[in-house]
């Protein structure tokens, strides 16, 4: 037996909330990727304190990965792929903060907060994702 679930249309305010959430995530991650491409001394010093060394090549690589995944997230046909890749990237950031004992709510869980905004914004603006992950009343 095949069950076809219909997704309820999202209201205009909800769609705009999704665009705003996604826009904030995109803005933050593009800036984060850009400062790693430079890389500024504060970035390399922070990565050194986290135990990754102060390699400029590593910073540039992480910056490029961040920007590519964020661009994939920003383009509607590839947004779900971008969200999946960014989820892995943010998971790595969370694991790094856990490893060095960063403050829980401000540093360690920041990747979780960003991930919730990322997926929440996408869910509100993407009909295909809403049909894949429907919330029922």
State pLDDT tens for residues 29-40: 999 999 999 978
What is the model's pLDDT at position 4? 53
Q: Mind listing the pLDDT tens digit for each residue in 95-113?
A: 999 999 989 998 999 999 9
Cβ density class 16-55: b for 16+ within 10 Å, e for less: ebbeebbeebbeebeebbeebbebeeebbeebeeeeeeee
Judge whether 80 and 129 are in contact, CB under 8 Å: yes
User: DSSP secondary-structure letter at 10?
Assistant: P
pTM value? 0.87
What is the model's pLDDT at position 5? 54
Which of the residues in the chain have pLDDT under 70? 1-8, 137
């Amino acid at each position: 037996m095949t069950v076809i679930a219909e997704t309820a249309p999202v209201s205009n305010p909800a769609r705009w909330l999704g665009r705003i959430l996604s826009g904030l995530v995109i803005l933050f991650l593009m800036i984060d990727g850009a400062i790693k491409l430079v890389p500024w001394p504060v970035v390399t010093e922070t990565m050194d304190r986290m135990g990754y060394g102060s390699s400029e090549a590593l910073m540039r690589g992480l910056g490029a990965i961040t920007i590519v995944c964020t661009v994939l997230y920003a383009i509607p046909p590839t947004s779900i792929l971008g969200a999946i890749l960014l989820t892995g990237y943010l998971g790595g950031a969370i694991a790094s903060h856990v490893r060095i004992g960063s403050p829980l709510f401000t540093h360690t869980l920041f990747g979780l907060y960003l991930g919730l905004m990322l997926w929440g914004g996408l869910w509100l603006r993407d009909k295909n994702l809403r049909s894949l992950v429907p919330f029922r009343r």
